[in-house]
Amino acid sequence: MEKISLHIFEEDCNGCHACEIACKQEHGLGVGPRLIRVIEKSPLFIPVYCHHCDDFPCGDVCPVEAITRDKHGIVLINEELCTGCEACVEACPYEAMQYDEDRELAVKCDLCHERLEMGAAPACSLACPAHCIAWGDPKDFSN
Amino acid sequence: MIPLLREIRPDPIVEVHPETAKKHGIEDGQWIYIESPRGRIKQRAKLYDGIDPKVITSEHGWWFPEIKDPGHGWEISNANILTDNAFETCDPNMGSTNVRVCLCNIFPCENE
């Protein structure tokens, strides 16, 4: 199957933060980790999220090789292997890697891969009232 | 209070046009006082060029559940302090405040 990634059309974002809430609800996260977040720097709204990079530096620095890529190109953390050393948090160029202090684990956007398996959209994309969060094959976004 | 919602929006935000902010010496993200003849509140400035330079847009309904006083800081950022709530000028049927706009002055908080 083709590669799947997330793309946010920043010019349509109005800074409502609905994606952040939807993401936290979907992943059962409390205060602290924000797997997708929107930084308000007027007049811009800057979404910060995992790009599921081709060369993923988070995986390169992980001492226990807990971060791997699945068949759709989604970069995932194996929570059973993660030791919570935070090396990946330091390494991520997009500041998308987050640390969950409650569980003492690194957490990141998993592109809602369980929802994708069922044919549903990622939670953030579904919640966005401006419809500016697209997901799918990155080659299609240019259209 | 839902902690994860508070994390996303910790402070009351008032939108100020960048030119107006420059005139009053206000920087993006700074706490500012908003003052009308009836009182003074403070909110956090967000510079935004989508509004007229002559107006600011203040958020209403702010109080702080995390402040453990009996009043929960109701008077710190509450925009109702700025509006005219006099009996004579309120709606005779509903008692609601007559207008949602008022003249005001803004200036930066020195100690924040």
Q: What tokens were used for B103?
A: 């003249």
**Exposed, middle or buried, A104 (CB in 10 Å: 0-12/13-18/19+)?**
exposed
Report the gap between the CA of B57 and the closest CA in chain A (Å): 14
Q: How do beta strands B13-16 and B39-47 pair?
A: parallel
Q: Which domain holds residue A121?
A: 5-142
State the pLDDT at residue B112.
Answer: 64
Confidence grade of residue A1 (pLDDT, cut at 50, 70, 90): low
Beta-carbon-side half-sphere exposure of residue A4 (alpha carbons within 13 Å):
22
User: Is the pTM for the entire model greater than 0.95?
Assistant: no
Predicted ipTM?
A: 0.71
* Model confidence pLDDT, tens digit, residues A105-134: 999 999 999 999 898 999 999 999 999 999
* Model confidence pLDDT, tens digit, residues B54-86: 999 999 999 999 999 999 999 999 998 998 888
Q: Which candidate in A19, A31, A48, A124 is best for mutational testing of the B interface (most B CBs within 10 A)?
A: A31
Number of structural domains chain A divides into: 1
Report the gap between the CA of B56 and the closest CA in chain A (Å): 15
Identify all chain A residues contacting B5, using CB atoms and an 8 Å cutoff.
21
The CATH number covering residue A39 comes to: 3.30.70.20
If one counts every other C-beta atom within 10 angstroms of the C-beta of residue B66, the result is 11
Say how many residues make up chain B: 112
Say whether B50 and A17 touch across the interface (CB within 8 A). Answer: no
Q: Are A107 and A27 in contact (CB under 8 A)?
A: yes
On the question of pLDDT at A47 being above 70, the answer is yes
* Model confidence pLDDT, tens digit, residues A6-38: 889 989 998 899 999 999 999 999 888 999 999
Say whether B48 and A43 touch across the interface (CB within 8 A). Answer: yes
Mean per-residue pLDDT of chain A: 89
Average pLDDT of the segment spanning A76-100: 93
Query: What part of B 40-69 touches A (C-beta under 8 Å)?
Result: 46-50
Q: Are A70 and A20 in contact (CB under 8 A)?
A: no
- Residue B9 sits at the chain A interface (C-beta within 8 Å): yes
Say whether A43 and B50 touch across the interface (CB within 8 A). Answer: yes
- Which residue in chain A has the smallest CA separation from B45? A42
Identify all chain A residues contacting B7, using CB atoms and an 8 Å cutoff.
31-32, 34
Domain boundaries, chain B: 3-108
| Higher pLDDT pick, A50 / A136 | A50
**B3-108 is classed CATH 3.20.20.70:** no
